[in-house]
Amino acid sequence: MTTDTADSVEAAAIAPAADAGFLQRHGQVIEYILIPGAALAGALVVFGGFVALFGKNPLDLYFYMYYGAFGTWFSWQNTLTRAAPLILTALCTALPAQLGMVIIGGEGALLIGALAATSAALALPSAPPLVVQCAMVLAGITGGGLWIMLAGGLRQFRGVNETISSLLLVYIALAILNHLVEGPMRDPLSLNKPSTREIGAANMIGTIPGMDVHWGLVFGLVAAVASYVLIYHTTFGFAARVAGGNIRAARIVGLSVGRLILTVCFLAGGAAGLAGMIEVAAVQGRTNANLAAGYGFTGILVAFLARQNPLAVIPVAILLGGISASGGLLQRRLGLPDASVLVLQGIIFVFVLASDALYGRIGFLKGKV
């Protein structure tokens, strides 16, 4: 198995070197496509071997993965529906990463955003749906934004490690959610499944016309593109990247690092909070413990696989959405346990992280990975 992997990585990596002129002109872009692509291919080969150990045909595996994720129009809709929240929660990790911060608390921001959005809707019982929806979006972004800003503030003013604090804030968010849902905000009719009251069918945001995918996908795409423009095409984004590259240098040239940290954390949390709002307004119709479905944690994986690039988050989220969409088919047709999808995600993660070492070093590949 390992030789196969090495071969595929090697083959993929050697290809551009054969055309040095082309490589020089588009070197970076090619690397960004080729290296993750090769890592993905390597991961699939290893996973195929893993599945073969269980006596299943790896070719069947690849076929069903393709079929369940992208093989039919239904499969595509399935994939895109699962990708939608991941784009937003991935931004919660990808944006602070520009500043050199590792935020892994998107799940908490999602829950708080969902709670805030639900509260906004319940506070406006007789407003027209558009007003309610706008209020929910604002509340979701603000709720989630403030939540991650808390982690940013702790880092800026108290020197608390933002990775740890944002992770711990997830559990606090979950406790707050459970407390409110089982206590003050509980719908007395939700006997065996404590939930808030419903936001009302009229206030749901529905699906994109012509497809069975909710509007969350569009929100995600817009947020990802906007983040990309912000980071790579504005002075604010430039300042953020400077601070991320060398925080002392940034201070010396007079950048307000504290403000950058807080703003970026707010935007990051806002994205995850928006994901929470969408889960309420497009899927659940109310807040309950079902919202803690792990989108925030999968988002971390997406962000790292996308190498923290907001634009790359989109295809990676679709890829992981596809993996989870096809996971069901793998269980049903091949009798693989659910955990096999996690195994695949883990293998991809390791390959992509390991392939990081290859950037700018094509030609020194042999024996690596």
Partner 1 sequence: MDFGRISRRHLLQGGAALTLGTAFGARTALAADTTIGFIYVGSRDDYGYNQAHAQGAAALKKLPGLKVVEEEKVPETDAVEKTIESMINLDGASLLFPTSFGYYNPHMVKMANKYPKLHFEHCGGLWTDKDPKNAGSYFGYIDEAQYISGIIAGYSTKSGKLGFVAAKPIPQVLRNINAFTLGARLANPKATTQVIFTGDWSMPVKEAEATNSLIDQGVDVLTCHVDGPKTMVENAARRGAMVCGYHVNQSPLAPKAYLTGAEWNWEALYPKFVKMIAAGETIPNFYRGGLKDEIVKVSPYGEAVSEEARKHADDVKSKFMSTDYAIFKGPISDNKGKIVIAGGTDRGQKDPELEKMDYLVDGVIGATS
* CB closer to partner 1, 239 vs 318: 318
Q: What is the dihedral of CA 108, 325, 316, 227, to 10 degrees?
A: -50
Which residues, listed in sequence order, are joined to residue 196 by a DSSP beta bridge?
Answer: 186
Q: Is 54 helix (H, G, I), strand (E, B) or coil?
A: coil
* CB closer to partner 1, 138 vs 334: 334
From 23, 45, 65, 81, residue interacting with partner 1 (rule: CB under 8 A): 81
Residues in Cβ contact with 338 at an 8 Å cutoff, skipping those fewer than 6 apart: 327, 331
- Rounded to a whole number of angstroms, the minimum distance from the CB of residue 195 to partner 1 is 9
Q: Which of residues 217-276 bind partner 1 (CB under 8 A)?
A: none
* CB closer to partner 1, 155 vs 197: 197
> 362 is written with which tokens?
């094509």
First-last CA distance in the chain: 13
* CB closer to partner 1, 75 vs 345: 75
Q: Which residues of 323-356 are buried (b: 16+ CB within 10 A; e: fewer)?
A: bbbbbebbeebbebeeebbeebbebbbebbeebe
Residue 66, interface with partner 1 (CB under 8 A)?
A: no
Helix axis angle for 106-123 and 295-305, nearest 10°, is 130
From 293, 343, 350, 354, residue interacting with partner 1 (rule: CB under 8 A): 293
- Rounded to a whole number of angstroms, the minimum distance from the CB of residue 290 to partner 1 is 4
**Of 149, 179, 164, nearest in space to 271 by CA:** 149
From 62, 67, 215, 232, residue interacting with partner 1 (rule: CB under 8 A): 67
Only one residue has tokens 């906007």, namely 226
From 16, 285, 296, 322, residue interacting with partner 1 (rule: CB under 8 A): 285
Which residues, listed in sequence order, are joined to residue 302 by a DSSP beta bridge?
Answer: none
- Rounded to a whole number of angstroms, the minimum distance from the CB of residue 366 to partner 1 is 39
Binding mask 119-158 for partner 1 (x = CB under 8 A): ----------------------------------------
From 62, 63, 70, 232, residue interacting with partner 1 (rule: CB under 8 A): 63
* CB closer to partner 1, 27 vs 194: 194
Residue 60, interface with partner 1 (CB under 8 A)?
A: yes
∠ Cα 319 322 328 (to 5°): 150
Q: Count other C-beta atoms under 10 Å from residue 137's C-beta.
A: 21
Q: Is 207 helix (H, G, I), strand (E, B) or coil?
A: strand
* CB closer to partner 1, 32 vs 66: 66
Report the interface residues with partner 1, using CB under 8 A: 57, 60, 63, 67-68, 72, 74-75, 78, 81-82, 178, 182-183, 191-194, 214, 279, 283-285, 288-291, 293-294, 324-325, 328-329, 331-335, 337-339
